[in-house]
Every structure is written in structure tokens, then in C-alpha cells.
Amino acid sequence: MGLGSLFKRNKKEKTEDAVEESHIDIAFEECEGCEKCVVACPNNVLIMDDDKSSVSNSFGCKRCKVCMAICPNDCITVN
Ligand code: SF4
Ligand code: SF4
């Protein structure tokens, strides 16, 4: 294994760790991209990314769960 592939593997593991640590879970398959959660979040935690809702700043989340309540497809879980 070359150094390049070792670096890529470490980068991938770090990305997976970051996803696991987030307390906001979005079911991307169910998201229809209506943007309601992005507009409703009072702390600008969510953004649209490739027509799907995505977490941009999980540290700004106050766990108000407005995004959960407004999503028509129950895509979002805030723990
Ligand atoms: S729980 Fe509240 S602060 Fe956190 S992402 Fe949802 S709407 Fe924003
Ligand atoms: S409210 Fe639900 S369906 Fe609409 S963009 Fe947000 S996660 Fe997707």
C-alpha cells in the first residue's frame, strides 16, 4: 500500500467519525428538498446541498427541534 492510499483511508475514517458525532440525523433518501427546515431553523444550522438538506454548523444547533416539526417527510431526527 502506497502512502497515497493510506492518506485516503485515514481521511475517510475521519469523515465517518464526524458524521457519527453529529446529533442531527437527516434521512437523505426521504428528503424532497423543500427547504422548509433550512428556512425555519433560527440558528442557520442547515443548508441546501445538491437539493438535499444538510448540516453546515451542528455547533450552532440549540436542539429546538423546529426542523423536525416542520419537515413534511419526517426526515430529521435531533437527539
Ligand atoms: S433543532 Fe433547532 S437549532 Fe437545531 S437544526 Fe433544528 S431548527 Fe436548527
Ligand atoms: S424539510 Fe424535510 S424534506 Fe424539506 S428540505 Fe428539510 S429535510 Fe428535506
pLDDT (tens digit, 9 = 90+) per residue, 2-26?
555 455 554 444 444 444 468 999 9
| Whether 49 contacts 60, CB under 8 Å | no
Q: What is the count of structural domains for the chain?
A: 1
Residue 48, domain CATH = 3.30.70.20
Domain contains 74: yes
* pLDDT for res 21: 62
* pLDDT for res 48: 98
Q: Is 24 exposed, middle or buried (0-12, 13-18, 19+ CB in 10 A)?
A: buried
* pLDDT for res 59: 95
* pLDDT for res 10: 47
pLDDT (tens digit, 9 = 90+) per residue, 41-58?
999 999 999 999 999 999
Domain contains 61: yes
- Residue 43 Cβ contacting ligand 1 at under 6 Å: yes
DSSP lists the bridge partners of residue 48 as 53
Q: Which ligand is nearest to the CA of 77?
A: 1
What span, in angstroms and rounded, lies between the C-alpha atoms of 13 and 22?
15
Q: State which residues form the domain around 68.
A: 23-78
Q: Which atom of ligand 1 is nearest to the CA of 76?
A: 6
Domain contains 28: yes
DSSP lists the bridge partners of residue 52 as 49
